[in-house]
Amino acid sequence: MAEEKRTVVVEDLGPGAVLVRIDRPEARNALDVPTRIALAAAFERLSRDEAVRVIVLTGSGKAFAAGADLKDMAERTAAEMMLRRAHLQWGAIAACPKPVIAAVNGFALGGGCELAMHADIILAAASAKFGQPEIRVGIMPGAGGTQRLIRAVGKFKAMKLLLTGATLDAAEAERIGLVSEVVPDDELMTRATALALEIAALPPLAAEQIKEVAMLGEDIPLSSALALERKAFQLLFSTQDQKEGMRAFLDKRQPKFEGR
């Protein structure tokens, strides 16, 4: 029996950095159930791997991820959709403690846009397209699109996109705050790799604390968020990386951070 094709591939990018690539170019990397399960498994494993400090997420071919597989969903019932428990698969990505860079190389529509918004940094190729077109097929975003988009770009930009299903180009996505940086198409992975390696060379415990505090702080009162930040800041003074970083600065040498 022929071996089943892997829909998610994990590749090494260099010290501390890995690439997670959705490999369904024939389907524009549509996020069917097996692909979501494979993505969740990859992120769960990489989250536990101490050697991994940064993850780059991208798609194969001309799309990042074109969204859900509508052929599979069209005749499903509400009970069938509930029993898929897709939120558990998405949760594995959202819960990843490592910095995640989405390198969006083409269409990021529907679930693909939601997947990109699970990242901490979004790099977009100049030809990339973003959108939540679910309303055009009679549904709505179901993997965080309404919540993450409104937090990223504000109510009025988000509601226009959600209620019309309009598509944004990369330049407009950057202008409204959905994208961190736009680069020429042929430079996307070079830039994503360089950024991943830059972050991977920095203290990973500090990076994880920054991510955790920033994400949790969005949904609690400012006074509580500031207290959380203060405690995390103080906690980092118990790490070897803090001692190494400050001593290296004072000694005028490059630090070597070991995640301890």
Instruction: Give catalytic residue positions.
Output: 68, 111, 114, 134
Which alpha helices (DSSP H) does 51-154 contain, by range? 70-73, 78-83, 86-94, 111-117, 145-153
Sign (positive/negative) of CA torsion 124, 120, 114, 223? negative
d(CA 232, CA 226): 10
For residue 60, give the DSSP letter: S
d(CA 115, CA 177): 16
DSSP string, 183-197: E-GGGHHHHHHHHHH
CB of 65 closer than 8 Å to CB of 59: yes
Neighbours of 10 (CB within 10 A): 17
Which secondary structure element, helix H or strand E, spans residue 11, and what is its range? strand 8-14
